[in-house]
A and B are shown apart, each in its own frame.
Chain A
Amino acid sequence: GNSVTQMEGPVTLSEEAFLTINCTYTATGYPSLFWYVQYPGEGLQLLLKATKADDKGSNKGFEATYRKETTSFHLEKGSVQVSDSAVYFCALSEGGTYKYIFGTGTRLKVLA
């Protein structure tokens, strides 16, 4: 079946460091791909999305490119801030259905 695999955390970085959080997926068909972020004590909120191969989603300085050839959707940010400390979830939407499949989440801690 379809699945999403994320790198295990926690990831600890200094402020202004470069961030990459890896995400790969297994899916039949053409899923849509998402990154959600969960700040401490809150629910998940959509960070960015991509619907087809080579699409790049971007928001708040974060970017991810839908790579069909490597079945990946890695999250990147050029310069992280303390306020980016959160848990990040990669997810896919099975084509034509309402259901999402989530990765296990990667906790990011940014130190001042």
Chain B
Amino acid sequence: DVKVTQSSRYLVKRTGEKVFLECVQDMDHENMFWYRQDPGLGLRLIYFSYDVKMKEKGDIPEGYSVSREKKERFSLILESASTNQTSMYLCASSSSSGSLYEQYFGPGTRLTVT
């Protein structure tokens, strides 16, 4: 089974802190994604990466950056956390082979910024 793991299920940080969210997948997938999930807004794409060291902005990249130094690991960085970044963060991965690019999700990290 594909497994996508995220470093923390729950995280509480203070405003202004630098926050790292880590995601690891074990299926050798080329593509990895970071979403945030908010009530009434569904999932919104923050960043995605289609290869090591490659990244593209999603729909809401402001206030975030990412890093992909190894194929299996994709990190989301909040340079200076703010209260409006309190949310559920979901990581996903998919293969570039085939045509469906089915995405596999991690369990999510619920981040609270106080």
Interface residues of A (CB under 8 A from B): 32, 34, 36, 41-46, 49, 51, 89, 93, 97-100, 102-105
* A46 B102 Cβ-Cβ under 8 A: yes
* Minimum C-beta distance from A65 to chain B (A): 17
In the A-B complex, the 9 residue pairs with the closest CB atoms: A43-B105, A104-B42, A102-B43, A44-B105, A43-B107, A98-B31, A98-B101, A102-B42, A43-B106
* Minimum C-beta distance from A14 to chain B (A): 25
* A51 B105 Cβ-Cβ under 8 A: no
Given A44-B90, A89-B43, do A98 and B48 touch, yes or no (CB 8 Å)?
A: yes
**Does B4 lie at the interface of the complex (its beta carbon under 8 Å from any beta carbon of A)?**
yes
Which residues of B have CB within 8 Å of A99?
A: 45, 48, 58
* Minimum C-beta distance from B40 to chain A (A): 6
Compute the total of residue contacts between A and B using a CB distance below 8 Å. 50
* B4 A43 Cβ-Cβ under 8 A: yes
Which residues of A have CB within 8 Å of B64?
A: none
- With most chain B CB atoms within 10 A of its CB, the pick from A41, A42, A89, A98 is A98
Measured CB to CB, the nearest residue on chain B to A44 is: B105
Known interface pairs A32-B99, A98-B50, A104-B41; 6 further A-B residue pairs with C-beta atoms within 8 A, sorted by A's residue number: A32-B100, A34-B102, A42-B107, A42-B108, A89-B43, A100-B103
Measured CB to CB, the nearest residue on chain A to B103 is: A100
Which residues of A have CB within 8 Å of B50?
A: 98
Subset of 9 A-B contacts with CB under 8 Å = A41-B107, A42-B107, A46-B104, A49-B100, A49-B102, A89-B42, A98-B101, A99-B58, A104-B42
Measured CB to CB, the nearest residue on chain A to B106 is: A43
**Does B96 lie at the interface of the complex (its beta carbon under 8 Å from any beta carbon of A)?**
yes
Q: Which residues 9-68 in B have Cβ within 8 Å of A in the complex?
A: 31, 40-43, 45, 48, 50, 58
Which residues of B have CB within 8 Å of A97?
A: 101
* Minimum C-beta distance from B54 to chain A (A): 12
Which residues of B have CB within 8 Å of A32?
A: 99-100
